[in-house]
Amino acid sequence: VIDLPTYPFQRQRYWAPDGSASAALTLDSRPDEASAVPSDTMDPAEQLRRELATLTVTEQIEWLLGQVRDGVVTVLGLDAHAEVRAEATFKELGVESLTGVELKNHLRSRTGLHVPTSLIYDCPTPLTAAHYLRDKLLGQPQEQAVVRADTPVDEPIAIVGMGCRFPG
């Protein structure tokens, strides 16, 4: 047992008396950052894209929904077999702002995507979050262009008076 000083700037060293390597790490004992990450590894999001491309759309949504449900169970500390309804809002499930950030971090680690902090507000249910993740991974779905027919407006114009001043 070593008694540490209460004053942090006392300028005394408090290393283990045997001087073992576990007592003090030197700069030379750290692994080289370049060798720690192999250069031929694939981006996790790209790897997930390739795996999801082999599935049908329904299977993709189910897999991503499973990831969202797993994240909700993890951040809320629920039993691993707890039921997380896909249509229930995150608020109903008990996810609040802080646990929403934890859910975002969980999904980022699982998918490799940059997930916005506002995910639980932009996508209020686990199902919409799964659809969002699928769209972000595999690209936005093609939106149908809305074509409006030019119809003449023959309704009378409503005149609204403000400040008790009426036209006329």
51 assigned to some structural domain: no
Tens of pLDDT along the chain (168 residues) come to: 666 666 666 566 655 666 554 444 444 444 444 444 454 567 888 888 888 888 888 999 999 999 999 999 999 998 888 889 999 999 999 999 999 999 999 999 998 889 999 999 999 999 999 999 999 988 865 454 455 556 666 666 666 656 666 666
> What total of structural domains would you count in the chain?
1
Could you tell me the maximum CA-CA distance found in the chain, to the nearest angstrom? 99
Could you tell me if residue 156 is inside a domain? no
Does the residue 67 lie in any domain?
Answer: yes
Looking at residue 100, which CATH number applies to its domain? 1.10.1200.10
Sign of CA dihedral 11, 16, 21, 23: negative
Domain interval for residue 125: 56-138
For residue 80, being part of any structural domain is answered with: yes
